[in-house]
Amino acid sequence: MPELPEIYNISEQLNNELVGLKVSEVIIHQEKSINSKIDAFTNNLLNQEIKVVTSHGKWIIITFKSNSRLLINLGMGGDLLYTADIPTKKHQAVIKFNNDYLLSFRFWWFGYIHFVSATETHEMTKKLGIDLIRDDITKEEFKKLFTNRKGSLKSFLLNQKNIAGIGNYYIHDILYNAKIKPSKKIPDLSSRKLGNLYVTIKEEFINSISKRGANYELDIYNNKGEFKADKVAYKEGESCRCGTTIKKMKTGSTSSYYCPKCQK
């Protein structure tokens, strides 16, 4: 599943390629991926000129000169490729531009392509929390997010309504680098720990972005990234760099990997 670093890089690549182009053709093979009937969706997109492409968390945001938007979420995994020809792999949608290049959308599970007019509100993105790369959030503002909150830290971080963009791939090493046990309760976190967490999340994402994202995810040119989250994730029974055996624990609906010595 692509998370913030992958989506950030894809949106930057799209911004470099698409600004100033117009939509010339739309092909939809899977209607459940879009938020209206195929004819209406196609008519809304045709001849729209792209003004800017950005992102928020796991969502790509294409804004047109009309100020309407195309909002894209690759869901549980997928490819968004920019090519001259339609790929031979199964895909759910294709958007072609007036330079004869196209974007093909291939979702493995639960992908979204939503058109939103300039006067509409998109409920799914409206509910998103902060994006620690795109938004200008200070350390003190970050700490305030945890005021009067209960429950485990990991569950809080994975909730997209709190902080957008963190998923199961990055969360293990974020908590490891911050030296926090995944089951740690929010009221038990000191101000210093929360400050370290703020720095750790930003450093993890910036590092991954600099390496073009995770080494199993594709960018729009069909190239994989070079970043690997490999401190503790999925290493149950192996040794941490401190020599302690990495353990696995159940945290809510997900499993967590951690070092009992390094993470308290």
DSSP notation for 160-212: TTTBTT--HHHHHHHHHHTT--TT-BGGG--HHHHHHHHHHHHHHHHHHHHTT
The residues of the chain that CATH labels 1.10.8.50 are: 139-215+230-258
Ordered per-residue pLDDT tens for the chain, 264 residues: 899 999 999 999 999 999 999 999 999 999 999 999 999 999 999 999 999 999 999 999 999 999 999 999 999 888 999 999 988 778 899 999 999 999 999 998 889 999 999 999 999 999 999 999 999 999 999 999 999 999 999 999 999 999 999 999 999 999 999 999 999 999 999 999 999 999 999 999 999 999 999 999 999 999 999 999 999 999 999 999 999 999 999 988 889 999 999 999
Which of 174, 169, 175 is closest to 228 using CA atoms? 169
Alpha carbon of residue 171 to chain centroid: 12
The residues of the chain that CATH labels 3.20.190.10 are: 4-126
Separation of alpha carbons 70 and 93, rounded Å: 13
- What SS3 state is found at 139? helix
CATH topology (fold) of 139-215+230-258: Helicase, Ruva Protein; domain 3 (1.10.8)
CA dihedral 26, 32, 34, 38 (to 10 degrees): 50
Residue 73: CB atoms within 10 A of its CB come to: 21
Yes or no: domain 4-126 corresponds to CATH 3.20.190.10: yes
Strands 23-28 and 254-258: unpaired
